[in-house]
Every structure is written in C-alpha cells, then in structure tokens.
Amino acid sequence: MKSLINLLFVTILVLLTSCATTAKFPVSSVTPAAEITAKKKQDKNNNYVIEVTAKNLASADRIDPSKKNYNVWIVTENNGTKNAGMLVNKNAKTASLKTSTPYDVKEIFITAEDQGDYSYPVGIEIARTSFN
C-alpha cells in the first residue's frame, strides 16, 4: 500500500512539472543577491506563457548607473529580440512578469532601462538564460 501511494505521488509530481520548462538565471554581477527564474509553457491557444520571478532584486534606482525599471526581453529563433514587458514589484522582496507571446522563446534576458517601452535593449544587462 505504501509503495502505491509513493508511486501515485511521483506520478502526480511528474505530471505537474512536465507542463512547463523552467530556467534559472546565473548570478548577476550587477545584482548578485537576485535569484531569478523563468518558466515557459504553452497554453490551449498554442501561445507561450512566460513567467519571470526575481527574488531579492535591488531596485533599479539603486544600481550604478541608476535606472528606472527592469525590462524583460525574449529572443526567438525567427523573430529576433522582443520586449516582453517590465518586472513589477509585488512586494519588497519579489518582482515578477507574466506575459503571453505567439513566439517560441529560446532565450530570455533582463536589462535595467530608463523607459519601459523600448523596442530594443539599450540599458545594462542584468542576467541572461536560455530554454533547452
């Protein structure tokens, strides 16, 4: 009976984690305390839902040189680099972004910018990771 419960638990865990791909960002030299992760999954409309969560990310106005916000950028195979949006502070410890895109995201990176509506990155790159 105990092995059956363990098997059921493992099966449920595999099903829950198989739906999304998670990528962890390496430690940033600009914001070394930040722990940043990104998740990518496909929704029922075949769009890709991207979720970026940053814990302990210093405010953009506290880095050198000072900036106003953090922008998240996606890199696709055929459509180049796109602005996915800005990280929004939920509380003093967590900033996040959840967005949807029709493009299959291969790489994702974060920059510190003076504006949130740039069509290409011009600020300081904070961290970069890729989805395998």
User: How confident is the model at residue 51, as a pLDDT?
Assistant: 97
Three-class secondary structure of residue 48 per DSSP: strand
Q: What is the pLDDT of residues 106-119, one digit of tens each?
A: 999 999 999 989 99
Percentage of the chain modeled with pLDDT above 90? 71
Q: Does the pTM exceed 0.85?
A: no
The full set of domains in the chain, from first to last, is 21-130 (2.60.40)
Contact partners, residue 6, CB within 8 Å, separation at least 6 = none
DSSP codes of every residue in 1-38 = -HHHHHHHHHHHHHHHHHTEEEEEPPPPSSSTT-EEEE
Rounded to whole angstroms, the Cα distance separating 85 from 74 reads 10
